[in-house]
Structure 1
């Protein structure tokens, strides 16, 4: 039985990236992506908005993660996973496997 777990999201980085290296030497970059769009549902247009925590892991992603800052627009694709916070609450986190910078038109 196949199980799908793919998420594609674009938006603006709204929380400063936090860069860490795990005890096993794997670099991680965590940030929050804010998405806003207009979607059609049941024949009606509606505003869609969310803030999604994103984590990017691995050396091959370091070049792009070192260049991202708050206010940048990006496109991310990866899988989602539940992470338990220090407060004991679970939250969905997007584990990015692909990231592209989007020209914001400024």
Structure 2
């Protein structure tokens, strides 16, 4: 089964860094995406806020460059996580992150 997502946007919540009891580092943040997409011959506004989690040592170095307002592209897979309130939420598990040059 295929499960791949590529999403570009702006980090809209401060990254939260923590280490699991087994010693695996995690970085969590929320990516806000806004674009115009074409569907059935019409243009429509596309918008979402996607929780992102970066796990493992491989990608942690780049997470230290990520702050609120950073423009990034994230590639990875999606999965549901059960929140403390019992509700499920979709989360993007990042496998590759690219900082987008703002042109400043």
Select 1:78's aligned residue among 59, 76, 79: 76
Where do 1:47-66 residues align within 5 Å?
Answer: 47-66=45-64
The alignment covers a number of residue pairs equal to 104
Residue 8 of structure 2 corresponds to residue 41 of structure 1: no
Where do 1:1-106 residues align within 5 Å?
Answer: 3-106=1-104
Q: 1:101 Cα deviation (Å)?
A: 0.0
How well do the aligned residues superpose, as a CA RMSD in angstroms? 0.6
Q: Which runs of 5+ in 1 are unaligned?
A: none
TM-score norm. by structure 1 comes to 0.96
Structure 1 ranges of 4+ moved more than 4 A: none
> How big is each residue's C-alpha offset from its partner over 1:38-82, in whole Å with a ceiling of 9 and x where there is no partner?
000000000000000000001111110111100000000000000
SS, match of residue 68 in structure 2: coil
